[in-house]
Copies of this chain bind each other. A is one copy, B any other.
C-alpha cells in the first residue's frame, strides 16, 4: 500500500488588497482570528514550516503559540532554542520534505513568510490555500506571493464570520 504524500497547506490572513503585512513587516492591523475557525484548522495539522523572519516575529509576540507540534524553521543562520518542538533546518525544502515523509505527517502548515511560501508554490507543493480576507484595505504592504509563477486554483469552500472575515479555500488546479 502506498502512503499518501504529505499535504502542505498555506493558511494566511491578507488585507483586501492582498498584503500580509505593512511595508515595515508589522501586522498590528490583523484582528484576532475567529477562534472556532482557527482551532479547527490548527487541530487538523501535524506540523508547521516557517522562515526565520516569521519565527522571530512569532517569538516577539510572547508565549510560543504552537506548543507540542513540530515547527520547522528554514534558516541559514545558527539559531538556538531550548524548545524541543522547534527544529532549525539548514538543508532547505528537501530536508523538510524528507523529514515530514519519514515521520508520516499528513498535513503541514506553511506559516510563511513570502520566501518560504513562494518556494513551496513554485515547486507545485502547495495542496491547499486557505486565505482569510480581513475587511481592511492597507494601501501598501508586503505581498505573500513574491516571484511566483501564475497559478490557477479551484475554489473548494467559502465562509464568512460575524467579524467580517471571509475564508476562501482553494486547492491546486
Are the CB atoms of B155 and A164 closer together than 8 Å?
Answer: yes
**What is the 8 Å Cβ interface bit string for chain A, positions 11-34, against chain B (1 contact, 0 not)?**
000111111000000000100000
- Chain B residues with CB under 8 Å of A139's CB are 145-151
Which residue of B has the minimal Cβ distance to A161?
B155
Give me 30 A-to-B residue pairs in the complex whose CB atoms sit less than 8 angstroms apart, sorted by A's number.
A16-B18, A16-B131, A16-B170, A17-B144, A18-B18, A18-B19, A18-B143, A29-B150, A135-B153, A135-B173, A136-B150, A137-B145, A137-B148, A137-B150, A137-B151, A138-B150, A139-B145, A139-B146, A139-B148, A139-B149, A139-B150, A153-B164, A154-B164, A155-B160, A155-B166, A158-B158, A158-B160, A158-B166, A166-B166, A166-B168
Category for how many chain A residues contact B: 35 or more
Which residue of B has the minimal Cβ distance to A135?
B153
